Amino acid sequence: MSTERQLNFINHLDELRTRIIICLVTIVVLSIGAYTFSDTIIEFLTRPIKEMQSNVYFFSPYEAFLVKLKAAFFAGLIFSVPVIFTQVWLFVSPGLYRNEKRVMFPGAMIAFGLFLIGVAASYYWVWPFVLQFFLSFQSETLRPLISIKEYISACTGILISFGVIFNLPLVSAGLTKLGIVHHTFLRKQRRWVLVIIFIVAALITPPDVFTQILIAIPLIVLYELCIVISWFLRKK
């Protein structure tokens, strides 16, 4: 590798480090600000469970404090998404052609919109359905006493996962336009993707088969949508 290429590579690494630091600082600052409203955030996140039973509980002296930190970090991460997308755009834009730059920033805003739609869909549809299913097993002998720590971890994990998942069609469209993927390639990899989907669903959900299947189904549907989008763009 020539000296000039080495310098360019080092410059790219320095810029990447700068972008990452900006994203991390933004998340930390917004999380600190969100801690002021942590009670409101927790009230919002626990609304689905409180509509089905009375309350959630904490079982150690420090658990409530840690839950407030986690709720503040969740809000800080959500509000940081536009900054993260902007930093990604600023990092890759120097290497793009003019027509690619024109669609990159609107694409980032669409990605943020899809992320919010995924979060909203999981909050208003998926998460209440999961709660309703598991709370239906209570009886005269079995009564739920739900830990706020476990509840917030499961809730925020599913909300963020669905926010990311809803961006798969946009990613597929971008990779297709760049000539990186083809709909025939996506079709051939379908069985391997199904295995990966169930592995991912097992990692991001509580250890129960029902929730994993519930997460896997939208992933499979979105992957099939990615194939259709890729086919349409190639045909066009």
Residue 7 has pLDDT above 60, yes or no: no
Residue 236 pLDDT greater than 60, yes or no: no
The structure's pTM equals: 0.76
**pLDDT for the residue 136:** 80
Q: How far apart are CA 90 and CA 205, in angstroms?
A: 33
Q: How far apart are CA 203 and CA 206, in angstroms?
A: 8
pLDDT at 29 over 90: yes
| Pair 77, 34: CB distance under 8 Å | no
Per-residue pLDDT reduced to its tens digit, 157-199 = 888 888 888 888 877 777 777 677 777 777 777 778 788 777 7
Report the C-alpha gap between 49 and 135 in whole angstroms: 9
